[in-house]
Structure 1
Amino acid sequence: MASNQQTRPGIGALAKDTASGRIGVVMGAVGGRVQIRPIGGGREWDAVPDNVQTLSAREELSARLAIRNGNSRDRL
């Protein structure tokens, strides 16, 4: 039986903050919060660990394509 802790993305992984709907790169965790940075760079935001999920295959493909195309400004 897999726990939620095992399914959370690790540092450097793409992840979705389900509370805001934003996708970014997991940078670390401090004070019970997960720090996530937008894909295109910028200011990190804090997310509640229970709201941070691994991307579906479709979401990850879309995010990586946006990075490659340079279209990662909006909501990514």
Structure 2
Amino acid sequence: MSTHGTEPTPDMGTLLHDTESDRVGEFFGTAGDRWTLRPPGGGVPWEVSPGAVEPAGTYDHVRARAAEENAARRAHRL
């Protein structure tokens, strides 16, 4: 973990909960003073204020894993 502004920057791939959108994403990098998250397993990234992010809890990990599995099933059917 490094420091970006006043917030410590998570390691790449760290699972985080975006409290503004109630989405779970992997830390993907920084864009100016914002952080970039992406859905677990890939997808369209989005930007979020570091102050609106918290570490993912157990429930968030389960949600993320279910989303990954559902995406893999949808991709397999195409």
Same fold (TM over 0.5): yes
The more displaced of 58-67 and 47-56 is 58-67
Q: For structure 1, which runs of at least 5 residues remain unmatched after alignment?
A: none
- Rounded to whole Å, the distance in 2 between the matches of 1:20 and 1:41 is 18
Q: For structure 2, which runs of at least 5 residues remain unmatched after alignment?
A: 1-5, 73-78
- Rounded to whole Å, the distance in 1 between the matches of 2:13 and 2:41 is 14
For the residue of structure 2 that corresponds to 1:71, the secondary structure is: helix
TM-score, structure 2 as length reference: 0.68
TM-score, structure 1 as length reference: 0.69
Aligned length: 67
Which of structure 1's runs of 4+ aligned residues deviate more than 4 A?
none
Describe the shift of the 1:58–1:26 C-alpha distance in structure 2 as closer, same or farther (beyond 3 A): same
Equivalent pair of 2:19/2:53 in contact (CA under 8 Å): yes
Match of 1:23 in 2: 24
- Tell me how large the CA RMSD over aligned residues is: 2.4
Give the share of equivalent positions with the same residue, in percent. 34
Structure with greater proportional strand content: 2
